[in-house]
Amino acid sequence: MSSLRTPDPNPGWLSEFALEETRSRVPILYVEAVPARVDVAGQIEQVGVLLRGSAATGQITRTLVSGRVLHGESIRNALQRNIEKDLGPAAFPRLPLSPVPFTVAEYFPLPGVAPLHDPRQHAVALVYVVPVTGECDPRQDALELTWLTPKEALEPSLLDDLEGGRGQLLKQALAWSGALI
């Protein structure tokens, strides 16, 4: 018997109910990006940190570009899509040809298990430093993008303010790129 159901136009998306059910049982794969402005030698001059509002909690937090990898989507395409989703279509990211992250982050739903925490789920994220050359215009739940020098980004108050322990990822990104002062 054939199905008369209309095909899902976004087969990589889960309904909110299915996503919540999946999150309670299976780690979810994400990509995260530290947007960077670099000089001609490729050295980081500034990194971007998002101010984001959460419809679910009503809180406003600082965070990095991030999002899920959809079923059937390549890592590189997921990175491109999530950067565009958060920074707008004119950000012009310079994505790596080979998507090798500078670190792999693991988030646990229970606080204190590991430095990174996400109360919704157990998640694994591939984390990248991505130079952007265009105009960034935060979109969706991203309210603002703040550009910081590496020295400003390392201020303990800012690192502590990043959602879910992401201050640790920002510090790692700066160390990996050689931008630590």
pLDDT at 19: 77
Which residue in 164, 151, 118, 143 sits closest to 44, CA to CA? 151
Higher pLDDT, 169 or 8: 169
Strand partners, 144: 51
For residue 10, the model assigns a pLDDT of: 58
pLDDT, the chain, mean: 88
* 10 vs 50 pLDDT, higher one: 50
- b (16+ CB within 10 A) / e for 125-143: bbbbbbbbeeebebeebbe
pLDDT tens-place string over residues 42-85: 999 999 999 987 666 778 889 999 999 998 999 999 999 999 99
pLDDT tens digits along 73-129: 999 999 999 999 999 999 999 998 888 999 999 999 988 888 999 988 999 999 999
* 85 three-class SS: helix
Residue 111 CB burial class (10 angstroms; 0-12, 13-18, ≥19): exposed
Which pLDDT band, with edges at 50, 70 and 90, does 2 fall under?
Answer: very low
Predicted pLDDT at 1: 42
Closest CA to 148 of 19, 64, 71, 45: 45
Portion of the chain with pLDDT greater than 70, in percent: 90
